[in-house]
Structures are given as C-alpha cells and as structure tokens.
C-alpha cells in the first residue's frame, strides 16, 4: 500500500499557515486585555483545541510519510536483489 508523497507534502503549507494564524491570534489576544477572565479562558480553550487538531494532523502526515519512505526502501532492496540475480543469471548463461 503506497501513499502519495505529493499529497502529504502539499498539506504542509496549509498546516504551517494554520499554525501561523494561531500564533497571530494569540498575539492579537494578548494586546486586548479588556475581556473578562471567562472569555479569555474560553478563547484559550478554543485555541488549544485547534492546536491539538493541528498536532494530530501533523502526526498523521508524518506517519504516512514514514510509511512511504519505508515502502520505498523495501522496493529498492527487492529491486537490487532482483537486479543482482538477473546479472548473475546473464553471466552464467
């Protein structure tokens, strides 16, 4: 089962952009101190939830990328063994 690396790698800019948006939102919220503590707490909870979702998405993408690399290594080893066998058979014939 192969994973398309293009899909995994094209998701990276979106994740980076979302993380930058979260950082920007946190900085903007630091500037406005006129909110009550409950509002700040609910905002922080929402941001923490978004961050957790991004971390989960990054973990899934990293796992998929690792599986793709592992599959490519297995295919390369099998190809090397087959090529070596083909060279040996062609030399002996």
Q: Where do the structural domains in the chain lie, given as residue ranges?
A: 5-92
User: How much of the chain, in percent, has pLDDT values that exceed 70?
Assistant: 75
Longest CA–CA separation in the chain, Å: 86
Angle, vertex CA 63, rays to CA 5 and CA 9, nearest 5:
30
Residue 76: pLDDT over 90:
yes
| pLDDT at position 56 | 79
| pLDDT at position 22 | 74
Angle, vertex CA 1, rays to CA 3 and CA 72, nearest 5:
65
With residue 39 as reference, give the H or E element that holds it.
helix 37-92
Who contacts 57 (Cβ-Cβ below 8 Å, separation ≥6)? 11, 15
pLDDT tens per residue across span 15-47: 667 777 777 777 776 676 666 777 777 878 888
90 confidence band (pLDDT: 50, 70, 90): very high
Residue 86: pLDDT over 60:
yes
SS3 assignment, position 61: helix
């Amino acid at each position: 089962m192969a994973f398309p690396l293009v899909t995994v790698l094209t998701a990276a800019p979106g994740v980076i952009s979302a993380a930058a948006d979260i950082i920007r939102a946190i900085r903007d919220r630091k500037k406005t101190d006129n909110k009550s503590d409950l509002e700040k707490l609910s905002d922080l909870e929402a941001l923490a939830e978004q961050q957790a979702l991004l971390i989960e998405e990054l973990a899934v993408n990293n796992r998929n990328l690792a599986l793709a690399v592992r599959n490519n290594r297995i295919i390369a080893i099998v190809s090397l063994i087959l090529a070596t066998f083909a060279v040996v058979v062609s030399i002996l014939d």
